[in-house]
Structure 1
Amino acid sequence: MGISFRSSDSAFFDLFTTTADHLVKGIAILDEIVHQDILERATLRDQLHEIEQAADLTTHQVIKTLNATFVTPIDREDIAELAHVLDDCMDYVDEAGDLIVLYQLEELPAGIFEQVKLLDQCAQLTATAMPGLRKMEGLRDYWIEINRLENAGDRVYRDMLATIFASGTDALTVIKLKDIIETLEKAMDRFEALANTVEAIAIKES
């Protein structure tokens, strides 16, 4: 790819929207994983891996386009940060699916279903918000709602940890559940970081 003096104004935003769509699809698969029995989970995990790999390719395309573009529609460091945090969200979703399959837990606590539901809401909001970056319009409600969802996720996370440690469950199962719960919480945290990044960009560009 040669150096372009100026990117298409929509090129980066189209790629961010594509990544957000991957997140929506990935979390839909994760939701299927947590509701399926052990025998069905591995096939779904493989589908989730495919979505994560597609998201990786989109992230690489963002960086490739960034490196080949002299003038960008928003600051270069902001483009790189958006790509990085979107990638983190997808990576933690993929990791959570992998852990659920690898640990082979017959039953998952209801709090995990709630965490995945909150992640789905974050992904849906993100997919709706990404096109708004083109004109920096209609984004305030997005970052406010993401922060609210992340706070709800924190409460679910703390309640689950307290419950599993007080449940008398064997230590190995507690460790496995803690790994899954913490990975889902990290995904929630990255969605909040993404919303905070969008807020900072919107303020800068206003």
Structure 2
Amino acid sequence: MKLRLFPQETAGLQALARMAEQILAGTHTLAELLGAGRGDFAALTETLRRQDAASTADFAALLTRMRTSFINPLPREDLYALGRLLNETSEILTGAGEIIELYALDRTPARISDQLEILSRQAELTTAAMRNLNDLDSLEDYWLEVLRLGKRADHTHRVLVAELLEAHSPATFTKYSTLAGQFAAASRQMRAVATQVGSIIVKES
């Protein structure tokens, strides 16, 4: 770890931590959606939109800090990359909620819940990591575990798509596979965040 000689602005790191927390909260909201009746879809989807809006506000705050701070805790390009990936993940989660509402998916295959469980675990690890970006030496296990979970998520998605093709009509397959694709995309984003952290660890070591 490089020795840092000057005090640094930590507000940017705090913004990243809050963005990760919004993703974790989003996975919890989606878990509620998967178990909810159609009458609750609109309110829960609106909760996801509020969480996404909070993430976007934190991303804007991060960009402001990057422009105005003389010394940043990490290189600006790394802060920006992490913020962009986290914010895009919140957008993807909101999209998943809107798909559930628009397609009235009040009964989803169990393997879609498996996807969300993996994603939620990735979000938990990412939240803890964003809170500890000032201690990069402690994050190597996080990096590797999220990558492992990402491979598991990819496998689950492939199996799910095969099962959907076998069990459903083309119209129903399209609905479920679109939702599954959103969860798969969010998981890949979490993997990209971990890869970015891994790159930072290598550069700062």
d(CA) in 1 for partners of 2:7, 2:60: 16
Structure 1 residue 105 corresponds to structure 2 residue 105: yes
Deviation at 1:8, TM superposition (A): 4.0
Q: Superposition pairs for residues 83-102 of structure 1, below 5 Å?
A: 83-102=83-102
Alignment TM-score, normalising by the size of structure 1: 0.93
d(CA) in 2 for partners of 1:104, 1:199: 39
Partner of 1:175: 174
Deviation at 1:170, TM superposition (A): 2.1
Asked if 1 retains the 8 angstrom alpha-carbon contact of 2:9 and 2:69, the reply is: no
Aligned residues: 200
Deviation at 1:106, TM superposition (A): 3.2
Q: Structure 2: where are the runs of 5+ without partners?
A: 1-5
d(CA) in 1 for partners of 2:51, 2:74: 27
Q: Superposition pairs for residues 22-41 of structure 1, below 5 Å?
A: 22-41=22-41
Deviation at 1:146, TM superposition (A): 0.4
d(CA) in 2 for partners of 1:93, 1:128: 19
Secondary structure of 2:194's partner? helix
d(CA) in 2 for partners of 1:104, 1:171: 16
Structure 1 residue 127 corresponds to structure 2 residue 123: no
- CA-to-aligned-CA distance 1:51-87 (integer Å, 9 cap, x gap): 1111110011101111222332211111110111111
Q: Over aligned residue pairs, what C-alpha RMSD do you find?
A: 1.4
Structure 1 residue 204 corresponds to structure 2 residue 192: no
- Counterpart amino acid of residue 205 in structure 1: E
Alignment TM-score, normalising by the size of structure 2: 0.93
Partner of 2:15: 15
Structure 1 residue 154 corresponds to structure 2 residue 154: yes
d(CA) in 1 for partners of 2:188, 2:103: 23
Asked if 2 retains the 8 angstrom alpha-carbon contact of 1:24 and 1:123, the reply is: yes
Q: Structure 1: where are the runs of 5+ without partners?
A: 1-5
Runs of 4+ residues deviating >4 angstroms:
none
Deviation at 1:95, TM superposition (A): 0.8
Structure 1 residues 7 and 29, CA, compared in 2 at 3 Å: closer, same or farther?
Answer: farther
